[in-house]
Every structure is written in structure tokens, then in C-alpha cells.
Amino acid sequence: MKILFIDGLNFMHRARSGFQLGDYNVVYNFFRSLKPLVDQFEPNRVYFTLEGHPKRRFELLPEYKANRIPDQTTEDGKDKYKSLEDFFRQANVITKALCEMFPVSVMRHRDYEADDLIFNVIKNASEAVEFVVVSTDTDFIQLLQKFPNVKLYNPVNKAFVEAPDYDYVTWKALRGDGSDNIPGIPGVGDKTAEAVVDDPDLMQVLLKEHGDEFTRNVELIKFPQWTEEETKLMTSSSPAKDWAKVEEFFNSMLFKSMLKEPYWTKFKATFDALWG
């Protein structure tokens, strides 16, 4: 059994680059990218995980991810907010299409992030199941260090990620995470963090002065845990196969190239394998 996890928002953001046609370029690029991913890994099941509002992390650090709020305009004067609004409009179209037309299980928890969901599904699953996680988010390195049956695939580099020898959570709690606006311990960068992780004496010195910040960062970075029953409640079921409905959807989006032969037949065969 092989399960493919797609970090939903991460993967949809990647679809912003590529073909820039019409009003649904992100939708088009997404489905053009999804097919080869399924072909490459040949999973028995696909999960598409979405973001909730991680209220516990915001309680710990109100400025969590505050750096992701864009400035009003780009250098060429375009409104960034309108650009983001358009992206989320298309993201909603993608999510609705997956839920209603494709053999993909969509997951979301209102109080947690996508990587939290993925961690908990894997934690509660059999070790005999092989998991592949598709994301550029390095937080998933935690999975590699906990579960030997997990692989992390970076779709930008088109390569599997290797886990470092040091404890990733401790290292990241020391040096912080600029992408999530988590401040590191003052004066600690990548190399210092690597040195401290493997030196109990240096760690003790740092914790005497910055123990509270370190503890907070660990709580921000590590994944929360819940039961298998809770996880099942967050997962959508796959719809019945109806290629006529998908064809109508692609036509409404003006995705003519998606419906041309032999591509259309190959596209259907890829997802037919998931329906079984």
C-alpha cells in the first residue's frame, strides 16, 4: 500500500507559475502538474491536505506567519492583495473540483495546519504503509526522522529530501524559522545551531538565558498529536467516477488542450487507477 500526500496550499502556490492563460491559469497548471505526480509515484490513494487556523501557535506567538501578509503593491504598481484574492478564488475552484470529481481525499482541520494533519495520519497508520509527501516545506523533515516508511519529495527540485543527522526540531528551535516568522535564539545561525545540538554543555549555557524562547519555539515547530478517530472526521470521501462531468468542467474553463487526444485518454487512465 502506498499513499501520496500533497501539501495542498504549497502545491497550488507552485501552480501560479507556468502557463498564464485566461482567468484560470492556476487551475490549469495544477491539473497539468497533478497527473505526472500520480503517474510517477503510482499510489493506491491520494490525500490533498489544506490549512486551518493554527490557533495554538498564534496563542504562543501572535506574530506567527505575520511576514506572509504582503505589502500593498508590487514594484510595478500592481495590487498584491488583488493577486492573492485571484489565487484563492482559483484555489477554491481546485478544491471543489477535487472533492466533487476526482478520486482524491481532501483533508482539513479548522484549528491546525496541513503538515499537522499529515503527521497524524502517518502516526496512526500501519508501518507497512509507504508514504510519499510532496512539499517544499522543510518542517516535514520531522517525519523522516520519526518514520522509516516516509519519503519527502520536493516538486521544485524534483528530488527526495534527505534528513540531517542532528535533531531537526531542536536545531530549528535554536535558529528560528524566517518563513514562519519564528525568531531564533539571538546570535544563533545555522552553523551555531548545528554545533549546539550536539553539545550538551553549549545547550545548557544557551538554555540558562533563553530557555523560555527555546521551549516556545519547540512547541511552535513540533506537530501536535490526536487519535485516528479524530483524523477520520477531517477527511472527505471520493466521489463516484464521472468523466463526462470532468470533461464539462474542463470545457467550462476553456482547457481545450486537456481534452485533446491522446492526452485526454492518458489523463483518465491515470485517475482510473486510483478509482480501481
In order along the chain (276 residues), what is the average pLDDT of each group of 10 residues?
97 88 92 97 96 94 82 51 86 97 93 93 94 97 97 97 96 94 93 93 93 96 82 75 98 96 98 93
What is the pTM for the complete model shown? 0.92
Please say whether the beta carbons of 28 and 19 come within 8 A.
yes
With residue 47 as reference, give the H or E element that holds it.
strand 45-49
What is the Cα Rg of the chain in Å?
21
| 217 Cβ neighbours under 8 A, 6+ residues apart | 172, 173, 174, 176, 182, 184
Same domain, 161 and 173: no
Same domain, 150 and 246: yes
**DSSP-derived secondary structure letter, 74:** -
Same domain, 88 and 44: yes
- Give the residue among 238, 234, 38 at the shortest CA–CA distance from 119: 234
Domain count, the chain: 2
Q: Which domain holds residue 244?
A: 2-165+229-275
Same domain, 83 and 200: no
Same domain, 43 and 102: yes
Same domain, 144 and 183: no
Please say whether the beta carbons of 136 and 156 come within 8 A.
yes
Q: In the prediction, which pLDDT does 232 show?
A: 61
**Count of CB atoms within 10 A of residue 214's CB?**
19
Same domain, 94 and 174: no
Same domain, 62 and 119: yes
Q: In the prediction, which pLDDT does 81 show?
A: 59
| 243 Cβ neighbours under 8 A, 6+ residues apart | 268
Q: In the prediction, which pLDDT does 73 show?
A: 47
Compute the distance between CA of residue 27 and CA of residue 185 in angstroms, rounded to an integer.
41
Same domain, 174 and 66: no
Same domain, 193 and 234: no
Half-sphere exposure of 30 (CA within 13 A, CB side): 25
Same domain, 32 and 8: yes
Please say whether the beta carbons of 43 and 2 come within 8 A.
yes
